[in-house]
Amino acid sequence: MLNPKIEEAFNRQLNAELFSSYLYLSMAAHFESQNLKGMANWMRIQAQEENAHAMKFFDFINERGGKVVLTQIDAPKLEWPSPLAAFQEAHQHECKISELINGLVDLALGEKDHAANAFLQWFVTEQVEEEASVLEIAEKLKLAGDQGGVLFMLDRELGQRTLPAAPPA
């Protein structure tokens, strides 16, 4: 049986991951409208990854005998003044998600829920990569400044991103 405090906190995180997916999908839509197809592709894949994160929480709650409770997802912003602003916001968002994950680890340890703690360690590692990858793009955009050629090349590079193959079940 899942500890009710963990159940509630994991349901909140499920919502936060779905919001992340929604936020990045909104960024993808924004980049599409700007004809920055590569950045749109990168954000679209990011949105799919966030959905997969949400489903990990969905499955864990169910496997432990808890109840998934889906709640309203906040509306994301619709526009950003520049690609740099969008990627900087994505980086800030990932830092916030890392804090939420760390808070869940603290809770799991406090409640002596070792299974929840073990489950969360995947996210602890994942967040390091999530923060780094988006920060790297923001740094490149900062260096590019208003050089259209560099922006074009970066857009092409981000267009190469594909969804990693799912691990065998």
Q: Kind and range of the H or E element at 111?
A: none
Out of 53, 57, 87, 107, the residue judged to bind ligand FEO by CB under 6 A = 53
User: Closest approach of Cβ 46 to ligand FEO, in Å?
Assistant: 7
Work out how close the CB of 77 gets to ligand FEO at its nearest, in angstroms, rounded to a whole number. Answer: 16
For residue 148, give both structure tokens: 């259209």
Site string for ligand FEO, 102-141 (x = CB under 6 A): ----------------------------x-----------
Q: Are 83 and 39 in contact (CB under 8 A)?
A: yes
Site string for ligand FEO, 8-27 (x = CB under 6 A): ---------x--x-------
CA distances from 158 to 28, 37, 50, 99, 144 (A): 12, 9, 18, 27, 14
